[in-house]
Amino acid sequence: MEAMKISSPAFAHNQQIPSRYTCDGDDINPPLHIENIPAGTKSLALIVEDPDAPSGLWVHWLLWNIAPHQAEIGENSSPKEAMAGRNDFRRTAYGGPCPPSGSHRYIFRLFALDRLLPLAGGSSKQQLEAAMEGHVLGSAQLIGLYSRQ
């Protein structure tokens, strides 16, 4: 079976994220497509972060308990059954790229898990990663770039 894949029709891997999906635009999540989910997957989790932030890793979006049959996450939406965590904007929703200066990378990391996670909404990235430990069947990533003018 091919490796699990996450992609977006809005931007290619290692290419610019359109400003519509950033704080300079509508600040909505881009559409995401998911392919080749491993057999035995009970749920998916998504972590979106900026490793180039001046203060260190900046968390933009946390979702888990996404149904494994979910082939896409629509623009400006989150799967209804998914739980959302608290990002570094102190929100439980998508926070788009908003770098103070320079070009930054935004990594969309998708995980296939062998169980639903017993985490409450609003949990942190650290709590999400601890709950996923030992339950990851596969992963994929998509990197988008953004520079403020």
Query: Which residues, 6+ apart, have CB-to-CB distance to 54 below 8 Å?
Result: 100
**pLDDT above 70 for 124:** yes
What pLDDT is recorded for position 1? 59
Cα 42–Cα 74–Cα 53 angle in degrees, nearest 5: 90
Q: What is the pTM of this model?
A: 0.96
Separation CA 117–CA 99 (nearest Å): 31
Separation CA 106–CA 68 (nearest Å): 23
pLDDT in tens, 51-95: 999 989 999 999 999 999 888 999 999 998 999 999 999 999 999
